[in-house]
Amino acid sequence: MKNLKWRAAILGALILMALIYLTPSLSKELPGWWSSFLPQEKINLGLDLQGGVHLILEVEVNKAVESHLERVVEDLKSDLRKSKIRYVDIRRIGTEGVELICMSEQDPKDIEKVIEANYPDYNLEPPEATEKGTSYRMIISPRAKDHIVRMAADQALETIRNRVDQFGVSEPDIRPQPNHRILIQLPGIKDPKRAIELIGKTALLEFKLVDEENSLEEALGGNIPPGSEILYQSTYDSKTGRKVNVPYLLKKRAPLTGESLTDARVSIDSQYGDPYVSISFDARGARLFERITGDNVGKRLAIVLDNNVYSAPVIRDRIAGGKAQITGHFTMEEAKDLAIVLRAGALPAPVNILEERTVGPSLGQDSIRMGFRSMVVGGLIVILLVALYYKLSGLIADLALLLNLPLMMAGLAFFGATLTLPGIAGIILTIGMAVDANVLIFERIREELRLGKPPRAAIETGYSRALVTILDSNVTTFIAALVLFQFGTGPIKGFAVTLSIGLLASFYTAVFFTRIIFDYLYVHRKRKEVSI
């Protein structure tokens, strides 16, 4: 019975492997020698079981193209000034390019020269005469546009990674998706609202001078001077406690932005105990800041984040050393989060939250508890049913069923799969279906025995006849699981994975494992009566 020994050895090896793969998931702490050469993969619990946040963000890449074109507009203005070419108007055309309007007297050759020399990524269309003058349209090449879009998406991903890292989530999963989308999974997070705000904030920091030559009242009346804009500071009225929006008339151009930051930290005001964020500039930023403050003593400089004014202090003196403070009525957490987003840098384009799924920790625990409970109850009834129906053979099938569980779990650990609530349902379902293979085999053996075959022959024919059917039925279920895996997301994928692993495990235990025991009993020990 050499053959039987071999099969038993394979079974032993499989069980040992399963135990090894299960150990990291079961034990809290692994001994040091373990991790040096044994697997450390754990079964991950899905967000629906341990609680957490699942987000899908879309990077508004068109906004990145727009802001790139806006910069080109500014650059072109200064290039034209340098070349002493006078222009009537320069503006962005959607996300297509830039339109330049010059007096019709202007020699087109000069303009072409400037554009060709400085903007190789743009195609200049033939000039067109319009009412205002001659129009030159520079269209951005698809390749350059593509590059901007890709850079924006990559940079957004990187920035969000930085922010999440600094926020301190234990095992975040952040990955790019097609169509400039980003998938973010933050397991076990306690304050989802705060995390979502932190991630979704564009965090574009700008320093803008308050326009004090023009009247704010007039601007509010609708007469906004060119080159200026109205932005609001939202604060609390100290008397009524209501939220109020204070308008400011600011110069549109931001001489200094968050790009020049090197660090941002939370500090506490020694007088009132209010938290604020202190920031440091790099060398270029420090020089710029010194010049801006030096040139504008007595005027107000507004600190603007994502088009919200945080404060607009009066510049008392030239500030050297490249340090500044952002004050506002922050709570400690708000100040911390502001420091994080400033350190991690601004997103190159705003992001939209397309999908948000938050599971509170209490629900996750309930799901685990209830899933486990139904698994135990359902499993016990099935085990009882099978043992009653098939007697000793039924007990063998039950043993196979019990072996199935550690094998499945080990399989999940081996593939680093995530266990989700539908996944638990998948396991429970496999328990029900795993019995099927044994039922098929046992029914066949019964049929063969009724035909009067001796135990050994009946078992042999029963197994070989049933095998074809078992294979066929498993393949079709496997196909369904495969498609689910391909098209499903999150929990559904988890279901597909457990279902497939369960199919494989139950195929082995129901067909090969039970056969070992049958062969041992009826071939090796030569029992005469089959208890089935």
Rounded least distance, CB 484 to another protein, Å: 5
Per CB under 8 A, the segment of 114-122, 291-299, 372-380, 506-514 that binds another protein is: 372-380
Tokens linked to 378 = 């359902």
Kindly tell me which of 256 and 481 has the beta carbon lying closer to another protein: 481
| 426-465 binders of another protein (CB under 8 A) | 428-429, 431-433, 435-436, 439-440, 443, 446-447, 450, 465
Fill in the amino acid letter for 17: M
Size of the site for another protein (CB under 8 A): 78
Token code pair at residue 251: 């110069």
* The CA-based dihedral angle spanning residues 74, 78, 81, 82, taken in that order and rounded to the nearest 10 degrees: -160
Q: Contact between 362 and another protein (CB under 8 A)?
A: yes
Specify the residue, 179 or 215, whose C-beta has the smaller distance to another protein: 179
What is the closest distance, in whole angstroms, from the C-beta atom of residue 282 to another protein in the complex?
A: 32
Residues in contact with 123: Cβ distance below 8 Å, sequence separation at least 6, in sequence order: 138, 139, 141
48-87 residues in contact with another protein (CB under 8 A) are 48, 56
Distances (CA, A) of 140 to 125, 155, 294, 435: 11, 21, 39, 64
CB under 8 Å to 62, separation ≥6 — which residues?
95, 349
Q: Taking CB under 8 A as the criterion, which residues in 179-198 touch another protein?
A: 191-194, 196-197
Which residue, 71 or 369, is less far from another protein as judged by CB? 369
Report the DSSP beta bridge partners of residue 490.
none
Task: Please report whether residue 332 would count as binding another protein according to CB under 8 A.
Answer: no
Shortest distance, position 160 Cβ to another protein, whole Å: 14
Q: Does the protein bind another protein through residue 333 (CB under 8 A)? A: no
**Residue 207 beta carbon to another protein: minimum distance, rounded to whole angstroms:** 27
- Output the smallest distance, CB 441 to another protein, in A: 10
Q: How far is the CB of 439 from another protein (least distance, A)?
A: 5
Nearer to another protein, 348 or 364 (CB): 364
Q: Which two tokens stand for residue 181?
A: 């989308």
Closer residue to another protein in complex, CB, 129/388: 388
Q: Which is nearer to another protein, 114 or 363 (CB)?
A: 363
For residue 222, how many other CB atoms are within 10 A of its CB?
Answer: 6
SS3 268: strand
Select from 9, 23, 7 the least CA-distant residue to 414: 23
Could you say which residues in the range 495-524 bind another protein, by CB under 8 A?
Answer: 495-496, 499
Which of 221, 486, 525, 526 contacts another protein by CB under 8 A?
486
- The burial of 64, by beta-carbon neighbours within 10 Å (0-12 exposed, 13-18 middle, 19 or more buried), is given as buried
Q: Given the rule CB under 8 A, which of 269-277, 341-349, 478-486, 509-517 is the region that contacts another protein?
A: 478-486
- Furthest CA-CA distance within the chain: 112
Q: Which stretch binds another protein (CB under 8 A): 131-139, 236-244, 365-373, 507-515?
A: 365-373
CA 252 remoteness from chain centre: 35
Q: What is the DSSP letter of 488?
A: -
Are 498 and 506 in contact by the 8 Å Cβ rule? The answer is no
Kindly identify the residues of this chain, within the stretch 106-145, that bind another protein according to CB under 8 A. Answer: none
**Contacting another protein within 380-409 (CB under 8 A):** 381-382, 385-386, 388-391
CA distance 380 to 382: 5
